[in-house]
């Protein structure tokens, strides 16, 4: 299931609009528990670091896949990313995004966070991502 479509530029050069659309497509897929859609946003050798928890997940098809499978299982009832602010730097193939995330876990516990992610691309996909979560909460175990 792909929850949002994204047209990759034919010239393989990321524009400001492409960077914003990629981030918003990624979060749309996260909110829909669309594992294939999420992983399609990453390079094969991508790394995602939860900087506020000093935790790194490596490899799209291994570490990241497992992290997202666990996330989707835990927060299957509800994940919603809203209120985005983006600062994109297409000349250097990167974008920073600040947002609110609302979560409900399988026990019914609700969590609201204000997070900021820094995305560094290789080509047209995320290669390195750094996540800063508010309140020291790490929902990406």
d(CA 80, CA 134) in angstroms, rounded, equals: 16
- Of all residues in the chain, what percent carry a pLDDT higher than 90? 80
34 belongs to a structural domain: yes
10 belongs to a structural domain: no
36 belongs to a structural domain: yes
> For position 103, what pLDDT does the model report?
94
Taking residues 74-81, report their average pLDDT. Answer: 94
Which of 8-17, 63-72, 94-103 shows the lowest mean pLDDT across its residues?
A: 8-17
95 belongs to a structural domain: yes
DSSP assignment string, 60-99: IIIIIHHHHHHHHHHTTTEEEEEEEEEEEEGGGTEEEEEE
Q: Is the pLDDT of residue 14 over 70?
A: yes
Domain span at residue 38 reads 16-135
> For position 10, what pLDDT does the model report?
73
Q: What is the CATH number of the domain that holds 86?
A: 3.10.450.50
pTM above 0.85, yes or no: yes
In this predicted model, what pLDDT tens digit does every residue of 82-138 receive, in sequence order? 999 999 999 999 999 999 999 999 999 999 999 999 999 999 999 999 999 886 555
> For position 136, what pLDDT does the model report?
57
**CB atoms closer than 10 angstroms to residue 11:** 7
């Amino acid at each position: 299931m792909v929850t949002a479509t994204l047209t990759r530029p034919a010239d393989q050069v990321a524009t400001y609009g492409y960077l914003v659309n990629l981030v918003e497509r990624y979060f749309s897929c996260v909110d829909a528990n669309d594992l294939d859609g999420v992983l399609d946003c990453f390079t094969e050798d991508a790394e995602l670091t939860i900087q506020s928890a000093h935790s790194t997940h490596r490899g799209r098809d291994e570490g990241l896949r497992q992290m997202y499978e666990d996330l989707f299982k835990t927060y299957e009832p509800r994940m919603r990313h809203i209120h985005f602010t983006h600062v994109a730097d297409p000349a250097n193939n990167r974008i920073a995004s600040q947002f609110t995330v609302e979560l409900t876990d399988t026990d019914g516990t609700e969590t609201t966070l204000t997070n900021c992610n820094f995305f560094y691309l290789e080509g047209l996909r995320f290669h390195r991502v750094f996540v800063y979560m508010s309140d020291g909460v790490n929902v990406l175990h």
